[in-house]
Amino acid sequence: MPQQTLPGTVCVAVHSPDAVIRAGLTSCLQHDRRLLEVPQERLHEADAVVAAFDTVDGAALDQLSALCDKPDARFLVVVGKQWNVDVSAAIDRGVRAVLWQNAFTPPAFLRALLAVAGGGGSLPPTLQGTLMEQVQWTHREVLAPRGLTAAGVTPRELDVLRLVSEGKELSEIAAKLCYSERTVKYILSGLMKRLQLRNRAHAVSYAIRAGLI
């Protein structure tokens, strides 16, 4: 009979080519009743996937994709020796937390795992610094020259979105910003086309989720 999963249980899958490391990670899960390990054949049911690698590189990221190709897959990666991959690329593949093996403790592992399962994340300070440098470079070299913010929205698009979110009509927005109604329509249509937003409500929802308004 299949094991029944209790409400609130966090399902976790564990992957490691090293049997000893895998056994150690699995042992940590058994000490917390909130966690339930699921077998490889049920990996698609996992709220978080733990993967251990000696070196994290492009091949390791490909393995993550092969393990679980769900678009919302969340990985906690335990690294043995080296990190040789772009941090942004790892995040794009679903990596939400990283733990160094030489600094590994069961409490830290469980905290990071629960954070990942809950939609959060945890990166070591060195990787956080690298990620911030990448974000700054992208903003300085790619977005700023095009007049875009980190969310891909220009300042005047933000002004229009704020007023749309307040329920203002196009004529009111035009008067408030000293634009013509045609310009306001052009700003909104350009934004929605670029970000593939269906309508004004979708645009406002996007701005709220991105923390812009």
CATH of the domain at 200: 1.10.10.10
Q: What is the pLDDT of residue 56?
A: 92
Q: Are residues 65 and 95 located together in one domain of the fold?
A: yes
Q: What is the pLDDT of residue 55?
A: 92
DSSP 186-200: HHHHHHHHHHT--SH
Host H or E run for residue 19: helix 19-29
Q: Are residues 157 and 68 located together in one domain of the fold?
A: no
Structural domains of the chain, count: 2
pTM of structure: 0.66
Q: Are residues 121 and 154 located together in one domain of the fold?
A: no
Q: Is residue 134 part of a domain?
A: no
* Residue pLDDT, tens place only, 118-134: 888 888 888 888 777 77
Chosen domain end from 62, 93, 125 = 125
Q: Is residue 91 part of a domain?
A: yes
Torsion sign (Cα): 111, 116, 119, 123: positive
Spell out the long-range contacts of 178-186 with Cβ–Cβ below 8 A and sequence spacing 24 or more. 184/160
Domain span at 184:
144-205
Q: Is residue 4 part of a domain?
A: no
For residue 188 the two structure tokens come to: 């909104």
Q: What is the pLDDT of residue 76?
A: 94
Q: Is residue 187 part of a domain?
A: yes
Q: Is residue 1 part of a domain?
A: no
Reading across the β-sheet that carries 48-56, which strands appear in turn?
A: 35-37, 10-15, 48-56, 75-83, 95-100
Closest CA to 25 of 117, 124, 82, 108: 108
Mean pLDDT score of the chain: 84
Q: Is residue 211 part of a domain?
A: no
Q: Are residues 155 and 109 located together in one domain of the fold?
A: no
Q: Is residue 3 part of a domain?
A: no
* Residue pLDDT, tens place only, 51-66: 999 999 989 989 888 8
Q: Are residues 23 and 106 located together in one domain of the fold?
A: yes
Q: Are residues 28 and 97 located together in one domain of the fold?
A: yes
Q: Are residues 18 and 117 located together in one domain of the fold?
A: yes
